[in-house]
Amino acid sequence: MTPTTSAPTPEEPFGARLRRAMDARGPLCVGIDPHGSLLTDWGLGDDLVGLERFARTTVEALADRVAVLKPQSAFFERFGSRGIAVLEKTVAEARAAGALVLMDAKRGDIGSTMGAYAATYLDKDSPLFSDAVTVSPYLGFGSLRPALDAAALSGSGVFVLALTSNPEGAEVQRATAADGRPVAQLMLDHMAAENAGATPLGSVGAVVGATLGDAGVDLAINGPLLAPGIGAQGATPADLPGVFGAAVGNVVPSVSRGVLRHGPDLGALREAADRFADEVRAAIGGA
Ligand SMILES: O=c1ccn([C@@H]2O[C@H](COP(=O)(O)O)[C@@H](O)[C@H]2O)c(=O)[nH]1
């Protein structure tokens, strides 16, 4: 029988799009984290109007110059459905202005529920569709399969928590798995398997804190390495070579409050992001 509809067009994978953005703009990611205290410091109300103004200003200042913008979903969710409506607009405006959007939602659940999260962030028809989403593998890496499959289908990416920037993470992530590997290494090895053969870069990234000192694990996953913890949590771009070693060329350094505290002035936000980008370039090279 002749098919009446054609197969979906394969999308350009996230890893390829991210590599191009990193080459053109440098690898910096800036977080959009509308903390109540930042809204107040910006002279805004800690309310929906303030939230929308904060997010819009950040996008206007930065979406045309950084590779990645990373909205922190929690700070939008705290305003309920109307906060999520602001998040939808923020994602759309940031993507339209040229940034890749990494939704920091850190979702993780049993596979069947993970399918619903995948439909939320990784299905092109969803109002929250993002270029990539953060996920937690700590219900077992296999529980992420619906997200990994959805990302492959829509040309989006997933960033999987490996070694997080907070000190409390170590008791789980550095624990020894049944086969003797550190749990984080087990997860990183799964990511490497997902990315095998991808060029120029796989679409499954790892989250590895810039705060860790020497990460002490094998980071050769052939995928991007999101490095939060720069700025307010105390790490600096100069720490990156020590943490990531030979994998530093795949690092996407991430800073939120360290840039956002300079708002609401557009020029000051841009200068702050440019300063971090310069420091990153001095530390690890690149655009
Ligand atoms: O290991 C992790 C994973 C994610 N984050 C998130 O990044 C930002 C950090 O904000 P700063 O203001 O730059 O400290 C925030 O949204 C975290 O939830 C992380 O910090 N560490």
Q: What are 109's two structure tokens? A: 């659940």
pLDDT at 254: 98
pLDDT at 285: 84
DSSP state of 251: E
89 as an active site residue: the answer is no
Tell me how far CA of residue 108 lies from CA of 5, 117, 206, 208, in angstroms.
Answer: 34, 8, 14, 17
228 lines ligand 1 (CB under 6 A): yes
How many other C-beta atoms can be found within 10 angstroms of the C-beta atom of residue 197?
A: 6
- Phi, then psi, of 162 in degrees rounded to 5: -120, -75
Nearest residue to 130 via CA among 149, 97, 106, 158: 158
Q: Which of 70, 89, 106, 124 is catalytic?
A: 106
How many whole angstroms separate alpha carbon 236 and alpha carbon 253?
9
Question: Whole-model pTM?
Answer: 0.96
165 lines ligand 1 (CB under 6 A): yes
pLDDT at 6: 46
251-255 and 29-32: which strand pairing? parallel
How many whole angstroms separate alpha carbon 74 and alpha carbon 113?
19
Under a CB-based contact definition with an 8 Å cutoff, are residues 207 and 134 in contact?
yes
- Phi, then psi, of 80 in degrees rounded to 5: 70, -155
194 lines ligand 1 (CB under 6 A): no
253 lines ligand 1 (CB under 6 A): no
pLDDT at 287: 67
Atom of ligand 1 nearest to the CA of 231: 13
pLDDT at 286: 73
31 lines ligand 1 (CB under 6 A): yes
How many whole angstroms separate alpha carbon 91 and alpha carbon 123?
14
CA of 1 from ligand 1 middle (Å) equals: 52
CA of 228 from ligand 1 middle (Å) equals: 5
57 lines ligand 1 (CB under 6 A): no
Substitution site in 256, 260, 261, 280 for ligand 1 pocket (most atoms within 8 Å of beta carbon): 256
pLDDT at 11: 81
Nearest residue to 234 via CA among 225, 243, 223, 246: 243
How many whole angstroms separate alpha carbon 89 and alpha carbon 56?
9
Instruction: Give me the torsion for CA of 102, 105, 106, 107, rounded to 10°.
Output: -120
Nearest CA to ligand 1 atom 18: 72
DSSP state of 9: P
30 lines ligand 1 (CB under 6 A): no
Nearest CA to ligand 1 atom 10: 256
Under a CB-based contact definition with an 8 Å cutoff, are residues 222 and 246 in contact?
no
Substitution site in 28, 30, 33, 230 for ligand 1 pocket (most atoms within 8 Å of beta carbon): 33
pLDDT at 167: 96
Atom of ligand 1 nearest to the CA of 169: 1
33 lines ligand 1 (CB under 6 A): yes
How many other C-beta atoms can be found within 10 angstroms of the C-beta atom of residue 93?
A: 17
CA of 2 from ligand 1 middle (Å) equals: 51
Tell me how far CA of residue 91 lies from CA of 130, 198, 217, 274, in angstroms.
Answer: 7, 27, 33, 22
pLDDT at 83: 98
Q: Mean pLDDT, 10 residues at a time, over the chain (287 residues)?
A: 45 96 98 98 98 98 98 98 98 98 98 97 98 98 98 98 97 97 98 98 98 94 98 98 97 98 98 98 87
